[in-house]
Structure 1
Amino acid sequence: MASYCQGVGKTFDAMTEAERNTVRQAATVQLQSETLQAAIVKGEHVDTEQLVRLSNLSVRLLTKLGLVKAGNDDETADLASYLASRGAAA
């Protein structure tokens, strides 16, 4: 949790209750995700849907905390822009 707080730029005590709750959720989701990933490495069967759900939730929580940028700022994010930048016809 300390690394999330550091990323937000506040101590845990200086955060609002909503921010503290989001940090707790992000840390919990991260632990669950890492547990599933460790099981995969050991060759154990895991619920891949659950892993995907946890990954998606993690991104949403980190975005809410401002630790992940929302959206895609890549200038070539759409195909037409990419092809135009490559000199190809769209």
Structure 2
Amino acid sequence: IRNAVTINSTMVNVGRALGPLVAAGLVSTVGIGWCFLINAISFAAVLFALATMDTRALFPVKRVAVARGQVLQGLRYAATVPEIIG
């Protein structure tokens, strides 16, 4: 879990640093219109992936009824699992 969190944090920070740099380079070389088109294509790719997803592999999970002390119970459980504590 620690490695996954580290990789996720690294990717977010790299995206924050390189994203504006790449955007500035694209705007200055190809123009704003092409940047909008590239952005639209990236959204289309996500929509295509969602549309082609196999929904039979998904299964609903029963919701747990809200009860007093659930947060404390969850924290106690997390304190007993070494992978969560790290």
TM-score (norm: length of structure 1)? 0.30
Higher-helix-fraction structure: 2
Larger Rg: 2
TM-score (norm: length of structure 2)? 0.31
